[in-house]
Amino acid sequence: GEDVEQSLFLSVREGDSSVINCTYTDSSSTYLYWYKQEPGAGLQLLTYIFSNMDMKQDQRLTVLLNKKDKHLSLRIADTQTGDSAIYFCAESMGNYGQNFVFGPGTRLSVLP
Amino acid sequence: DSGVTQTPKHLITATGQRVTLRCSPRSGDLSVYWYQQSLDQGLQFLIQYYNGEERAKGNILERFSAQQFPDLHSELNLSSLELGDSALYFCASSPGTGKDEQYFGPGTRLTVT
């Protein structure tokens, strides 16, 4: 079955790196995503990685994918207070349409 | 502002009733996605439409249905409402149907009493 798991909370100090982890179960996933949700807002796509890639870097964000262990991580360098939000990991399957499964979300708190 | 609009913003209704949520995608986007976010179930993908056709189905209940019209706006119909249907319902749109970035609307908060 499909299941995506994440730890629910993470606290870091401003300027430190944050690492948010995610595990998924469906090895047929096509894409894996990280979304950010700020209070009272919808989701914002931060980055995604195709399932045949190991790593993707985009400015302060680094995504690592260990396909063997079905483990995905998001590293945010130089974390700022504006990064405080809930971060969702998601997987999708399919090329014709996109069937998404989301994790429960990790609430990142950035302390000054 | 993502360019995706959803109406109404808030909706309060009673159990057993039927409601319709509306979504207008960003100009030029052909895909519309519906999501339900609740404390119990987290964020769940419900259904995707692309250019008027259903493309992918997630955890959408049989009491729920959706459609996408020729002008590309979409409606999500929720019937025989139960207390557990209280949630935030998001619509998102994207240009195509692959890995395109999805742009989320502000959501409709449904409260069933």
Nearest-angstrom CA–CA distance, B69 and B23: 11
* A17 near B CB under 8 A: no
Looking at the complex, report in whole angstroms how far the Cα of residue A24 sits from the nearest Cα belonging to chain B: 15
Average pLDDT over residues B61-69: 97
Nearest to B97 by CA among B32, B40, B45: B32
Residues 6+ apart with CB under 8 A from B39: none
| Residue B48, both tokens | 């995707």
Residue A30 vs residue A57, higher pLDDT: A57
Tell me whether strands B10-13 and B108-112 are parallel, antiparallel or unpaired: parallel
Task: Flag whether pLDDT at B72 surpasses 70.
Answer: yes
Q: Residue B66 has what pLDDT?
A: 97
Least confident range from A33-42, A56-65, B10-19, B98-107: namely B98-107
Note the pLDDT tens digit of each residue in B11-57: 999 999 999 999 999 999 999 999 999 988 888 999 999 999 999 88
Confidence of residue A1 (pLDDT cuts 50, 70, 90): very low
* CB contact (8 A) between residue B98 and residue A102: no
One-letter identity of residue A23: T
Tell me whether strands B31-38 and B42-50 are parallel, antiparallel or unpaired: antiparallel
Mean pLDDT for chain A? 89
Note the pLDDT tens digit of each residue in B97-107: 766 778 889 99
* B102 near A CB under 8 A: yes
Residue of chain A whose Cα is closest to the Cα of B90? A42
Task: Flag whether pLDDT at A93 surpasses 80.
Answer: no
Cα dihedral value B27, B53, A26, A68, nearest 10: -50
